[in-house]
Amino acid sequence: MSHCSGYSDPSSFAEDGPEVLDEEGTQEDLEYKLKGFIDLTLDKSAKTRQAALEGIKNALASKMLYEFILERRMTLTDSIERCLKKGKSDEQRAAAALASVLCVQLGPGIESEEVLKTLGPVLKKIICDGTASIQARQTCATCFGVCCFIATEDITELYSTLECLESIFTKSYLKDKDTNVICSTPNTMLHISTLLAWTLLLTICPISEVKKKLEMHFHKLPSLLSSDDVNMRIAAGESLALMFELARGMESDFFYEDMDSLTQMLRALATDGNKHRAKVDKRKQRSVFRDILRAVEERDFPAETVKFGPERMYIDCWVKKHTYDTFKEVLGSGMQYHLQSNEFLRNVFELGPPVMLDAATLKTMKISRFERHLYNSAAFKARTKARSKCRDKRADVGEFF
């Protein structure tokens, strides 16, 4: 029990999702492995503890294990708390990631409230600790936002969490009016994570609190659009689009005083051709800001469709998009499975009760690892062949001229 090698590689849970768990091992086998991982969170080796935390997280992200978790939630919470308090950067990140998925499994209720009550003060301390690693603080910020979104019933706790997150990302606001560009720092990625977590929680605030936050941030947040970090620019732009959506939901004739200067900034980012920026960053930025500009100017949203199993979900507003993106970051490849099976997520996205499928239908929906490999290989060959033809044509044209 003192070595992780006595159990399956934790990454195996995430590699192929719930199908592999069903095919290659029974529920009893899975629970046996998980019990071993839970024991290993107490191991003396930091690497072993980290691998155990990741193994549990990957399993919970790829399969619903509510009953199993319910019986062991206090043990798991204690292990997470211990690893957050005593662990270093990677172990803290693994512990915070597990805490997020644990709350997703438990859903809203007294059980997840108890998890947040225990872990909330520890997460807050790490987020605000300038000596802690930036990566650990980032993951803790996302975890704090997600757990609060799921579990908080106390409105004062929600407001306290918002203030904690605000105290971090507002440090990126433009302070010198003579400066046109916000230079990124080692803390920029932390500021992005806290901004996104804050934006998620804003979507569940009472209208009175939303109005206060909009008044406080509507005229300061646009300064983040001048950051030299593309991810910060995009996070700020998407948060602004969501805030406009909330404001117009409360007041259909909502008026923004600095609309001309804001749309000018958004249009510049949507058509950015600065040579000093990487092509990939410019392409990504232009695509996102075209949508943001349409949202601000025309109140339009480019609807997306997410398919999972025999179902599909329409993402038709910024609130739903931001919520989906957040939980996709937490669950990774397990997002589709949870959309099918997790009652909490189905309630969040208004999908109704889980659709019951018989074994024959499930079997027809599955694709084996070998079949997926063949499909990917064929697609790769087709793309290579198409590129070769295109190159041959260009060569012919060059010779002609």
Q: Per-residue pLDDT tens for 102-159?
A: 999 999 999 999 999 999 999 999 999 999 999 999 999 999 999 999 999 899 999 9
> Average of pLDDT values for 262-283?
81
Residues 331-344 have pLDDT tens digits of 999 999 999 999 99
Residue 131, number of CB atoms within 10 A of its CB: 4
What's the CA gap between 146 and 138, in Å, rounded? 13
**CB-side neighbour CA atoms (13 Å) of 34:** 25
What's the CA gap between 101 and 59, in Å, rounded? 10
Residue 292 has pLDDT above 80, yes or no: yes
| Torsion from C-alpha of 25, 31, 34, 38, nearest 10 degrees | -170
Length of the chain: 401
- Nearest C-alpha neighbor of 218 from the set 184, 180, 178, 261: 261
Mean pLDDT of the chain: 86
Task: Check: CB of residue 132 under 8 Å from CB of residue 88.
Answer: no
In whole angstroms, how large is the CA radius of gyration of the chain? 23
pLDDT at 179: 63
Band the pLDDT of 356: cuts 50, 70, 90. Answer: confident
Identify the helix (H) or strand (E) that includes residue 308.
strand 304-308
At position 46, the amino acid (one-letter code) is A
pLDDT at 185: 85
SS3 307: strand
What's the CA gap between 118 and 99, in Å, rounded? 11
> Average of pLDDT values for 35-45?
95
What is the per-residue DSSP string for 315-353?
A: E-SHHHHHHHHHHHHHHGGGHHHHHHH-HHHHHHTT--S
Band the pLDDT of 376: cuts 50, 70, 90. Answer: low
| Torsion from C-alpha of 11, 150, 108, 303, nearest 10 degrees | -90
Structure tokens at 229: 């970090």
Q: What is the DSSP letter of 366?
A: -
Q: Give strand pairing partners of 307.
A: 312
Return the minimum-mean-pLDDT range out of 79-93, 154-168, 368-382.
368-382
pLDDT at 388: 65
Residues 3-39 have pLDDT tens digits of 444 344 444 444 444 343 444 457 888 899 999 999 9
Q: Give strand pairing partners of 304.
A: 315
Residues 222-235 have pLDDT tens digits of 999 999 899 999 99
> Average of pLDDT values for 166-192?
84
Residue 362 has pLDDT above 60, yes or no: no
Residue 379 has pLDDT above 80, yes or no: no
Q: Phi-psi region for residue 299, left (φ > 0), alpha (ψ -120 to 50) or beta?
A: left
Q: How far is residue 372 from each of residues 307, 352, 378, measured CA to CA in Å?
A: 18, 31, 10
Residue 56 has pLDDT above 50, yes or no: yes
Band the pLDDT of 319: cuts 50, 70, 90. Answer: very high
Band the pLDDT of 384: cuts 50, 70, 90. Answer: low
Kindly tell me the burial class for residue 396, based on how many C-beta atoms sit within 10 Å of its own C-beta (0-12, 13-18, 19 or more).
Answer: exposed
pLDDT at 364: 53
- Nearest C-alpha neighbor of 228 from the set 182, 193, 185: 182
pLDDT at 167: 96
pLDDT at 386: 63
Task: Check: CB of residue 145 under 8 Å from CB of residue 197.
Answer: yes
> Average of pLDDT values for 311-338?
96
Band the pLDDT of 380: cuts 50, 70, 90. Answer: low
pLDDT at 361: 53
What's the CA gap between 202 and 322, in Å, rounded? 11
- Cα 328–chain centre separation: 5
